[in-house]
Amino acid sequence: MTAAYIQNEAEFNQLLESEAVLVVDCTASWCGPCKLIAPLIDQLEEAYRDRAKVFKLDLDENKPVAKRFGIRSIPAVMFFKQGELAETLVGAKPYEEFSGALDKHLA
């Protein structure tokens, strides 16, 4: 099972409104480090499926979202709680760092 891609800003906004805890991996097809963490994000989606929503967002297709959250380098994994940005992890990190951050926001 892999994390689904958010198609556009409207879908992104809808998820922000409807999900208590939302994880969004900002990525791009040309980004090497993004490819490295892609399986980790899929693993996160699978492990936390019952408690949080995990998605990917192609920044080349969603520049307004990148601008809105001031994302300048990728991969950038954003953690939202009740529609508010709670934390952003930038760069390739080990799985434990992503799951640890998610655990913290689920607590």
**CA–CA distance, 94 with 11 (Å, rounded to integer):** 28
Overall fold of domain 4-106 = Glutaredoxin (3.40.30)
Per-residue pLDDT tens for 46-71?
A: 999 999 999 999 999 999 999 999 99
Per-residue pLDDT tens for 26-52?
A: 999 999 999 999 999 999 999 999 999
- Within the chain, residue ranges assigned H as helices are 9-18, 32-47, 63-68, 95-106
Beta strand 76-81 with 4-5: parallel, antiparallel or unpaired? unpaired
Residue with tokens 């297709």: 61
pLDDT of residue 1: 73
> Residues for the chain: how many in total?
107
Residue positions annotated with a catalytic role = 31, 34
